[in-house]
Chain A
Amino acid sequence: MSEPHLAINKLKEKFPNSILEVETFRGEITAKVAKKDIYEICRFLYSDPELQYHMLTDLCGVDYFPETPRFEIVYLLHSFKLNHRLRLKVRVQEGESVSSVESIWKAANWLEREVYDLFGVPFENHPDLRRILLWDGYEGHPLRKDFPVEGPDFDKPYKPEV
């Protein structure tokens, strides 16, 4: 087991109660953090002069149905200075919302819209939270585990209104 990464040490120092768990698997560091502090943690990782996680490489959701809290939002940050990738995870209950990080990384704008579209997790303070891949008025969120692969209406006959 190698020494904990600089970013993890700094995070633990700054947010002692919000870093719930740190895992390393195949050389990738994952920190599970408390949902209430995700915005502050991201802001800190972005602006700290020694870390400079200036790029949000990816943001996605995972559905752990039927566990509770059900959803997990995964942030993958990249620092050009350290040439390092750091993964953050928060757990979200169904119906709850997460603070948007759009004001830190513009990249989050579309990525958060995609999570909202496919998982139904809303983001607070997002400037333009609309569906992105599916059309407005679509019912359901296809990447949820209780959504059938064939779609909910695949065996229903289509009857046009006359």
Chain B
Amino acid sequence: MAETRWMTINMGPQHPATHGVLRLVLELDGEIIVKAIPHIGHLHRGVEKLAENRTYHQVIPLTDRLDYTNAMGNNLAYVLAVEKLLGIEVPKRAQYLRVMMAELQRIAAHLIWLGTHVLDIGATTPIFYTFREREEVLRIFEEVAGGRLTPTYLRIGGVAKDLPEGIEEKIRDFVKTFPQRINEYETLLTQNIIWLKRTKEVGIISKEDAINWGVTGPTLRGSGVKWDVRKAFPYSSYDEFEFDIPVGTVGDVYDRYMVRLREMEWSNSIVRQALDRLPKGPILSDDPRVVLPDKGMVLTDIASLIRQFKIVSEGFTPPKGEVYASVEAAKGELGFYIVSDGSNRPFRLRIRPPSFLNLGALPKMIEGSLIADVISTIGSIDIVLGEIDR
């Protein structure tokens, strides 16, 4: 009897279908995967360490660069944690603006996922459509915040500035046309026989396994767990919006695809609701410890000038304690755990990255399947290495 050996192949870190610098070592028995070992860390920048040496305000731009497709959501998770630590209330208008931006960002993030995921599998057309709509969202961000990929729009206590003139019309136009766009994607994919063959019954993870592996977000919901941080622990007035949590049944690649498509529709609806009911009022809290004074006051009033100088140079000192705040980011539950020792810098800032735990379950999904299915499974869990490696 001849000796049987497994073949080991190396996928990545430079591989177009790994969505970044992920390296997978695959052990193969013919075309079947016996063992898969992910290697991560190629993009490690030490964000948690850097944050320990910055004031609380200075950490906000770092969070943009975690999951760079979901910058607004990352900002939101961080400022929520700091606000919880300080115990400050955010004005309603700012909360609604945050929800609106976070949901537009979710749409943009899911559009990148859709375009690149189907491109991996071989459908070249949808990426041109999805990036067309994503561009509209980024143009809105550019007008609102000044930045496209890394807007750094949120501040501790509110948002950086109010909506510019005329932007509401543009957002309304987008919201009005977007459901039609989703139909366009669906005509290309949902009933497409090639798409079905590549995604149905592929990369399955059961409900129990998904929970045990710490999987969150659309990947968890694809397995049929109706759980969303926006519903379970509502933050930033999410309890005032009407939306549903779409779930799958089997937990395969196709279910995760359907969950994300339905999620985009609900996000679109939330943006419309926020726009319709946008309250008037201030966009920043009036807590003098944290919030910068009005620029006009700084130039005329010595007390405001001193306050501005103190907040910019020294920052503020929250009470001693520790908090955890999380949001439903595009990839799953993104949490920030802050330990404060009462100084002006976080003593420890821990980021709970959703993609990290979702990727941890990848071997569970692909072991025993064909090598061609690895590509569609990686695409379907929607990882961003900037967040995994931090």
A contact set with B: CB distance below 8 Å: 25-26, 28, 30, 54-58, 60, 62-63, 74, 76, 80, 83, 85, 87, 105-107, 109-111, 118, 131-135, 142-143, 147, 149
Given contacts A105-B212, A107-B357, A133-B41, contact A26 B87 (CB under 8 A): yes
| Chain A min CB distance to B348 (Å) | 5
Q: Which residue of B lies closest to A83 (CB)?
A: B232
Check B41 against A26 for contact (C-beta < 8 Å).
no
- The distance from the CB of A82 to the nearest CB of chain B, in whole angstroms, is 11
Q: Assuming A132-B40, A133-B41, is B322 touching A30 (CB within 8 A)?
A: yes
**Are B352 and A62 in contact, CB atoms less than 8 angstroms apart?**
no
Task: A26-B87, A74-B350 are known; give 5 further A-B pairs, CB within 8 A.
Answer: A83-B232, A105-B214, A106-B364, A132-B41, A143-B48
Asked if B333 is an interface residue, CB under 8 A from chain A, the answer is yes
Q: Give the residue name and chain of the B residue nearest to A118 (CB).
A: B48
For B146, what are the chain A residues with a Cβ–Cβ distance below 8 Å? none
B227 pairs with A80, CB closer than 8 A: yes
Residues of A with C-beta under 8 A to B323: 25-26, 28
Shortest beta-carbon distance from B254 to chain A in Å: 24
| A26 touching B335, Cβ below 8 Å | no
- Whether B174 is near chain A, meaning CB under 8 Å from some CB there, is no
- A107 and B360 within 8 A (CB): yes
A26-B87, A105-B212 known; A110-B337 Cβ under 8 A? no
Of the four ranges (under 10, 10 to 19, 20 to 34, 35 or more), the interface on chain B belongs to 35 or more
Residues in A neighbouring B333, C-beta threshold 8 A? 57
For residue B13, give the distance in angstroms from its CB to the closest CB of chain A.
12
Residue pairs across A and B with Cβ atoms less than 8 A apart, 8 shown, are: A28-B324, A60-B337, A87-B324, A106-B212, A106-B361, A132-B41, A134-B44, A149-B53
Which A residues are CB-close (under 8 A) to B87?
26
Which single member of A62, A109, A111 contacts B348 (CB below 8 Å)? Answer: A62
Instruction: Find out whether the CB atom of B324 lies under 8 angstroms from the CB atom of A85.
Output: yes
Q: Which residues 226-250 of B have a CB within 8 angstroms of A?
A: 227, 232-233
Name the distance in Å between B86's Cβ and chain A's nearest Cβ: 10
- Interchain CA distance A106-B209 in the complex, whole Å: 9
- Knowing A57-B214, A110-B360, the reply to whether A26 touches B50 (Cβ < 8 A) is no
Q: Would you call B48 and A109 a contact (CB within 8 A)?
A: no
- Contact check, B350 vs A60: say whether CB atoms are below 8 A apart: yes
- Asked whether, in the complex, the Cβ of A55 is within 8 Å of the Cβ of B322, the reply is no
Check B50 against A58 for contact (C-beta < 8 Å): no
Closest chain A CB from B127 CB (angstroms) = 31
| Distance A87 CA – B389 CA, assembled complex (angstroms) | 24
Is A26's CB under 8 angstroms from B321's CB? yes
Is B46 located at the chain interface by the 8 A CB criterion? yes
Residue B339 lies at the interface, judged by CB distance under 8 Å to chain A? yes
Given known contacts A25-B322, A28-B323, A58 and B212 CB-to-CB distance under 8 angstroms: no
Chain A hits for B57, CB < 8 A: none
Pick the residue among A25, A58, A142 that contacts B350 (CB under 8 A).
A58
Interface residues of B in 182-219 (CB under 8 A from A): 209, 211-214
- CB B327 to nearest CB in A, in angstroms, measures 13
The closest CB in chain A to the CB of B208 belongs to: A54
Check B49 against A76 for contact (C-beta < 8 Å): no
Say whether B214 contacts A62, CB under 8 Å: no
User: B357 to A74, Cβ gap below 8 A?
Assistant: no
How many Å lie between the Cα of A101 and that of B50 in the bound state?
29
Check B153 for interface membership: any CB of A closer than 8 A.
no
Once the chains are docked, how many angstroms separate the CA of A40 from the CA of B274? 47
Q: Are the CB atoms of B40 and A133 closer together than 8 Å?
A: yes
Contacts of B48 in A (CB 8 A): 118, 143
B335 in contact with A58 (CB, 8 Å): yes
A85–B227 Cα distance when bound, in Å, is 14
